[in-house]
Homo-oligomer: A and B are copies of this chain.
Amino acid sequence: MSSQFGTTLKVSIFGQSHSPAVGCVIEGLPSGFAVDTDELQRFMDRRAPGRNSWSTPRKEADAPRIVSGLNDHGATCGAPLAALIENTNTRSGDYDELRRVPRPGHADYTAWAKWHGAQDVPGGGHFSARLTAPLCVAGGIALQVLASKGVRVAAHVLQVEHVHDVPFDAQRNTEQSASHLARQIDSLERQHGTGAFPVLSDEAGTHMRAAIDAARRDGDSVGGVVECVACGMPAGVGGPRYDGVQGSIARIVFGIPAVRGLEFGAGFSVAGMRGSRNNDPYELRAGRPVPVSNNAGGTLGGITTGAPVLFRMAVKPTPSIAQPQASVDLEALQPATLEVRGRHDPCVAARAVPIAEAAMALALLDSWLSYPPALADWG
């Protein structure tokens, strides 16, 4: 089907919620790169549920096992890198009701319409958010490669329901805003592994968690927005039109379950702006042209400007809620009321933070490898 993306760096994601394993195959990684598996595990832990108070207590072991692609010294060897995460709970349990009654907001009905009975029902099958785990394996490795080139990627929860975090200082592109942005990223990195809610403002985080708790108490869920930035990309990466940096990010981001919107730089607010305000003028800095503002979000014509690459993605409220919902029995062809059992994240925005970073890293690394700048010094 369509579980692949990438041009030079090709990523193929496989697995279902309850299949023996989920995993990924990555082709086109630069060879000779020593993968830091401890760092990769720490990155995986940020996505995994059950590590903190604000997500589902369900615990998954997200320990990737790399089965190919490394040489006997632990460096990428030029061959495809494959990694697996075993699914510890592969018993299908009692999914008879879900076979017949699709959950509103899930892909149950569309999978049925597409495969008519052959689709894998338990846990949402291939549509499960579980599949973001192998995406993070690939992304975690891409992040390491980019870091070795001086590129930093970070994300945070910008919005939960009606609560907003401080945004990244990335709409300007002055030296002052660059150091501020660096400090913002430092602050997010310090939170890694602490189980803290990934925001820039502690106060916003407190209110967001309150909003999530309120929704949980109501048997309901809330949506959110994740903001992601990449600093340090050289100008000239990417290509025109349909496989540019924006499009490459978009293809991965819209493959993340629950994403309904994506914007770059000034995003939808450009609609209300005039050109004189939206255009990013250039100045010389250290002998190089630099845009002094960054409404463009780091790309023009699909190619990086050298300013921070910035996107925001809207994540819908978790469709699995404890309240009764109207649905249809596909076999009996009569109305049915569904109550989704089990414990679910009432807000997936926080867990989507490392996923956004993975998407950003994979799209940028692939763009760099596929469409490098003229004056590239890529090894």
Contact = CB atoms under 8 A, between A and B. Distances in A.
Contact of A264 (B237, B261, B280): B261
- Kindly name the residue among A67, A221, A222 whose own CB sees the greatest number of chain B CB atoms within 10 A: A67
Contacts of A25: 12, 14, 25
A357 interface: no
Given A27-B1, A325-B281, A71 B125 contact: yes
A33 to B, nearest CB: 8
Contacts of A255: 241-244, 247, 302
Given A224-B271, A273-B317, A301-B106, A19 B70 contact: yes
The size bracket of the interface on A is: 35 or more
Interface string A338-372: 00000000100000000000000000000000110
Contact of A220 (B23, B259, B274): B274
A262 B250 contact: yes
A261 B260 contact: no
A28 interface: yes
A278 to B, nearest CB: 5
Interface string A301-323: 11111100000001111111101
B328 A289 contact: yes
A69 interface: yes
Q: Which 7 A-B pairs have the closest CB atoms?
A: A107-B301, A2-B243, A113-B236, A261-B263, A79-B126, A110-B303, A32-B118
Interface in A63-115: 65-72, 75-82, 84, 92, 95, 102, 104-107, 109-111, 113-115
A182 interface: no
Given A72-B92, A105-B279, A275-B346, 17 more contacts: A14-B79, A19-B67, A19-B70, A20-B66, A32-B117, A84-B84, A104-B279, A105-B280, A111-B301, A113-B373, A160-B271, A242-B254, A262-B262, A276-B325, A279-B325, A282-B327, A284-B335
A122 interface: yes
A114 to B, nearest CB: 4
A140 interface: no
Given A1-B240, A2-B302, A325-B281, A223 B72 contact: no
A246 B118 CA distance: 23
A194 interface: no
Given A2-B241, A102-B289, A268 B225 contact: yes
A325 B275 CA distance: 11
B20 A68 contact: yes
A259 to B, nearest CB: 8
B78 A118 contact: yes
